[in-house]
Structure 1
Amino acid sequence: IVLALDVNIDADGNAMVATHGWQEASTHTLDDILNRYLDLGCRHVLCTDISKDGTMTGTNVELYKRYKALYPQVAWQASGGVSCLDDLKDLKAANCDSVILGKSLLTGAFTMQEALACWQNA
């Protein structure tokens, strides 16, 4: 089971969980939700930075680096903004466990084979 959370980064740098198809902001931070579900056995999280999703402007590497350091027991799936193979290298260097690819594959920024080779060799 993967806990999938969509977040907006507020002015103070807090990852705030969004709800209702990104239409509403909750009062819960990513930390609030994680701490609740880690106690129940959650070990896999897919985290989408809403501001990056579909933009192909690069990923929020700092978000994933921070949360992997805070919660090393969690397998992190990064989502949002991947535009090139260097983005994959950056996420791998930040110790992300996996990454969601969407628009970058659909637009032909790189192939699945290139992405797999990059990820495995990063």
Structure 2
Amino acid sequence: MDVIPAIDILDGRCVRLYQGDYARSEVFGEDPVEMAQNWYSKGAKYLHVVDLNGAKEGEPKNLKVIEAIARSIPIHVQVGGGLRDRNQIMAVLGAGVSRVILGTIAVEQPQLVADICAEFPGQILVGIDAREGRVATRGWLTTSEVIAADLAKRMTDVGVAGIIYTDIHRDGTMQGPNLDALKHLAESVNVPVIASGGISSIADLLSLLSLEPLGVSAAIVGKAIYTGDIRLEEALKAVSNGRWQDIPPEVGTAIV
């Protein structure tokens, strides 16, 4: 399982939101490029970047910073936030990004997602951000009536390379991942699932290893690596060496 550091960009700075609330942001760095280089130096093989301004406004707003990140480190960078049409997606891919993450249009324009998947095979992920099992869109400002697992199934059918699942109520809270929801989602699809939201410790990462046989292939870690609750080097080593069968009972009992 991969551990993927997150860089959320708001007004050009590295921030973390609490439960997706733009009014409750905490700044962790002034230079996203420097932060990306830091995570690369500590062993990251992938980087997860979100343009929060773009997610809120419906079009990329930090493209120059994103391009600078992608050009500065020789690892895979996946980017989401405000990608709502083909030209925007092409602009981000043209900036050196490996994969793009589509969210709102998966709900509002599923045929466009199908067309983009056919045009850029293997480079399209869908981010499913959920509140109590229902999909949130437009920078998490709107909650739809769409069930997360149902959307995941539909997006798998149109050819997405993977699903990023975020439980908004866990995001930024350091309360641990929603293992039950992740298990249900992973059992619903036949593409890799990336876990996001609430991961606060190496124990949380090890608990996710119990879902690796179901297809949970990676975990995105945000606030915990900025506060120091998780040291990226130690997390990468622990996940690499760990097997879910070896997880201590107090870590693994949340999932059977």
Q: With structure 2 as the length reference, what TM-score do the two structures score?
A: 0.44
Cross-structure match for 2:219: 99
Aligned counterparts of 2:151 and 2:175: Cα–Cα separation in 1: 27
Shift of 1:55: 0.5
Tell me the percent identity: 34
Shift of 1:68: 1.5
List alignment gaps of at least 5 residues for structure 1. Answer: 10-14
Cross-structure match for 1:75: 192
Aligned counterparts of 2:206 and 2:154: Cα–Cα separation in 1: 31
Aligned counterparts of 1:45 and 1:86: Cα–Cα separation in 2: 23
Aligned counterparts of 1:76 and 1:43: Cα–Cα separation in 2: 9
Report the secondary structure of 2:130's partner residue. strand
Shift of 1:106: 0.2
Cross-structure match for 1:59: 177
List alignment gaps of at least 5 residues for structure 2. Answer: 1-123, 243-256
Partner of residue 85 from structure 1, selected from 187, 196, 202? 202
Shift of 1:43: 3.2
Aligned counterparts of 1:20 and 1:67: Cα–Cα separation in 2: 22
Per mean C-alpha deviation after superposition, the further-off stretch among 50-59 and 62-71 is: 62-71
Cross-structure match for 2:164: 46
Q: Deviations over 1:3-57 (max 9, x none)?
A: 1111011xxxxx1100122121101111232232222112301110000000001
Report the secondary structure of 1:120's partner residue. helix
Report the secondary structure of 1:116's partner residue. helix
Aligned counterparts of 2:230 and 2:143: Cα–Cα separation in 1: 33
Larger-gyration structure (1/2): 2
Partner of residue 5 from structure 1, selected from 116, 125, 128? 128
Report the secondary structure of 2:136's partner residue. strand
Q: With structure 1 as the length reference, what TM-score do the two structures score?
A: 0.88
Contact between 2:127 and 2:163, CA under 8 Å: does it hold in 1? yes
Contact between 2:176 and 2:199, CA under 8 Å: does it hold in 1? yes
Aligned counterparts of 1:31 and 1:67: Cα–Cα separation in 2: 5
Aligned counterparts of 2:209 and 2:130: Cα–Cα separation in 1: 20
2:238 equivalent to 1:115: no
Aligned counterparts of 1:25 and 1:85: Cα–Cα separation in 2: 31
More helix by share: 2
Matched residue type, 2:197: G
Q: Deviations over 1:57-81 (max 9, x none)?
A: 111011111221222x220110000
Aligned counterparts of 1:63 and 1:116: Cα–Cα separation in 2: 24
Task: Give the total of aligned pairs.
Answer: 116
